[in-house]
Amino acid sequence: MFKDRDIQRKLKNLTKLPTLAEVGRLLESFLQVDIEGSPEIERELVFIASSDPALSFNILRMVNSAYYGLPRKISNIEEAINIIGFSDLSEYILKPMTKTFLTHLPYYDWRSFWFHSLASAITARYIGKEIDFPHIGEIFTASLMHDIGKIVEALMYPSFFKEAIEKSNDNWVPFFEIERSLTGIDHAFLGGFLARMWRFPYEYIKAIESHHDNHIPEEFHGKKARILSVVTMVANDIVKYYGITTPGASYYVLNGELFEFLNLSREFIDKFSFEIRRETMLSLERLSISLHR
């Protein structure tokens, strides 16, 4: 069984999450040009930064680090980029991210992870608009990062990750349940753990670590964190219902209690399925990720 102290020690070696090679090449093309002063290029880079789960995660780490010493946590990616500035962003985040990439494994194609994460984020944004939630950027980012613990697991505990995926496939038991039975923790816990170590805003830590809980968080977590968590759970399930899943077995719940909490009609699920798919495909294309290769 995994112990917090050992996880902490292990994750200390992790300072950046890698992205896909295709996104890395795209980032490289930005390093060749003078980003500052070209609103078009700036806009495209902000789009990429807020649509790539690993890149968003790295940006949040940097902006919330002791180096910046800000009096409050920053959760909005656009605001984070404004604070960091394009030149430091290029030097300390983009450049290193063009050097090492996530390698596709025979049992895990990371493009499906990007597909699932982006579809969840876009679904969450539609939900946010539907329920008039004021923090649309945050609702998107929370869902985009919900499964980030899988990247952490694949990097830091590769043999455990492989075993869990294979056992999940072989026995048709949800991946997170296999993870828990093998180690006592799962990728939700691991992602939340790293987000906490990297001093992320509380609502992100909560949304990541509770995304498989399937119940409404207690009131003491605060309104914003509760809504972000529940939207993250619901978006994840809706996307699975659409069939946009990652390797390993999984199921969706579409829990009526969560819909009620958000004041979200069940009709939402089918009402936007076309738009959500279309937007996700367009976003993948802008990230230069092709699912058919």
The reply on whether position 210 binds Fe ion by CB under 5 A is no
Which tokens go with 148? 């980030």
Closest approach of Fe ion to the CB of residue 72, in Å: 28
Q: Which stretch binds Fe ion (CB under 5 A): 28-36, 52-60, 145-153, 256-264?
A: 145-153
Q: Which of residues 214-273 bind Fe ion (CB under 5 A)?
A: 236
Looking at the Cβ atoms of 80 and 207, the one nearer to Fe ion is 207
Rounded-to-integer distance, Cα 273 and Cα 132, Å: 19
CA proximity to 176, closest of 145, 143, 150: 150
Q: Which stretch binds Fe ion (CB under 5 A): 141-149, 156-164, 192-200, 274-282?
A: 141-149
Number of residues binding to Fe ion, judged by CB under 5 A: 2
| Near Fe ion by CB under 5 A: residue from 52, 147, 179, 237 | 147
Looking at the Cβ atoms of 98 and 236, the one nearer to Fe ion is 236
Rounded-to-integer distance, Cα 284 and Cα 119, Å: 10
Residue keyed to tokens 């492989």 = 162
Q: Which stretch binds Fe ion (CB under 5 A): 76-84, 88-96, 121-129, 139-147?
A: 139-147
Report the amino acid identity of residue 174. Answer: P
Query: Burial code of 247-271, b = ≥16 C-beta within 10 A, e = fewer?
Result: bbbbeeeebeebbebbebeeebbee
Q: Which stretch binds Fe ion (CB under 5 A): 10-18, 142-150, 162-170, 275-283?
A: 142-150
Closest approach of Fe ion to the CB of residue 209, in Å: 10
Evaluate whether 78 touches 45 at the Cβ level (below 8 Å).
no
Evaluate whether 102 touches 110 at the Cβ level (below 8 Å).
yes
Residues lying near Fe ion in the complex (CB under 5 A) are found at: 147, 236
